[in-house]
Structure 1
Amino acid sequence: MITIYHNPRCTKSREGLQILENSGKDFEVIKYLDEPISEAKLKEIISLLGIKPINLVRKNEAIWKSDYKGKKLTDDEIISTMINNPKLIERPIVVNNGKATIGRPPSLIIEII
């Protein structure tokens, strides 16, 4: 099952959702601001993406700039920060069949569906 971690207020996330809707495939939408991602799930997603946790952080968000920018954080601290502040998680994230991508640009989603 394809899963999209979606923020309806984000243009790129809405574009990613549209790609999935147009694909005709079944998928699940998780509005991660309403349904928080568990630590285990976030670690799994990061592993599927093949990136360091810091690369999943939206560094232009005000809370990152005011509270975390320039600090030396461990990977676990970064993950904890994203769990406590889900707005910091890049979006959309699409997971399918053991693969994941950040839909920036949204056309990247096509490669894994």
Structure 2
Amino acid sequence: MITIWHNPRCSKSRQALALLEARGDDITIRRYLDDAPSVDELRLTRDTLGLRAIDMMRPGEALFKELGLSKTDDDATLIAAMAAHPKLIERPIVFANARAMIGRPPERVLDIL
């Protein structure tokens, strides 16, 4: 089973989804902006990705600065911000085979299949 945290307005997210659909696999599409992940889901995602919270965020978003966030904030602070404001989550994130990958570039998602 493949799950993608998807934003249909994002070209990279659309490209990653197209790559997955071309394979013919069953895909669960989670529109994370409408169905925001919880703090626990974000912690698990961070751990599965093997990254720091900042590495799964979009620090260039105006909202990041508006909230007074910093790239040096601790993971708990950043994860709480992503749970409250899912627009801050980097996209797309694909989950498969007990692994996860941020699809930047989109072809990277194929590495976990």
- Pair in the same fold by TM > 0.5: yes
Structure 1 equivalent of residue 74 of structure 2: 74
Q: Post-superposition shift, 1:36?
A: 1.1
* CA deviations over 1:16-67 (Å, ceiling 9, x no partner): 1101110111110000001110111111111110000011110110111232
* Cα distance in 1 for residues equivalent to 2:16 and 2:3: 11
Counterpart residue type for residue 106 of structure 1: P
Q: What secondary structure, in the 3-state scheme, does the structure 2 residue paired with 1:100 have? A: strand
Runs of 4+ in 1 over 3 A off after TM superposition: 69-72
Q: In structure 2, do the counterparts of structure 1 residues 22 and 71 end up closer, same or farther at CA, with 3 Å as the change threshold?
A: closer
Q: In structure 2, do the counterparts of structure 1 residues 79 and 69 end up closer, same or farther at CA, with 3 Å as the change threshold?
A: closer
Q: What secondary structure, in the 3-state scheme, does the structure 1 residue paired with 2:54 have? A: helix
TM-score, normalization by structure 1: 0.94
Number of residue equivalences: 113
* Cα distance in 2 for residues equivalent to 1:111 and 1:37: 23
Counterpart residue type for residue 55 of structure 2: N
TM alignment of 1:1-113, pairs within 5 A? 1-70=1-70, 72-113=72-113
TM-score, normalization by structure 2: 0.94
Q: Post-superposition shift, 1:88?
A: 0.4
* Cα distance in 2 for residues equivalent to 1:22 and 1:52: 31
Unmatched runs of 5 consecutive residues or more in structure 1: none
* Cα distance in 1 for residues equivalent to 2:87 and 2:18: 21
* Cα distance in 1 for residues equivalent to 2:106 and 2:60: 19
Counterpart residue type for residue 34 of structure 2: D
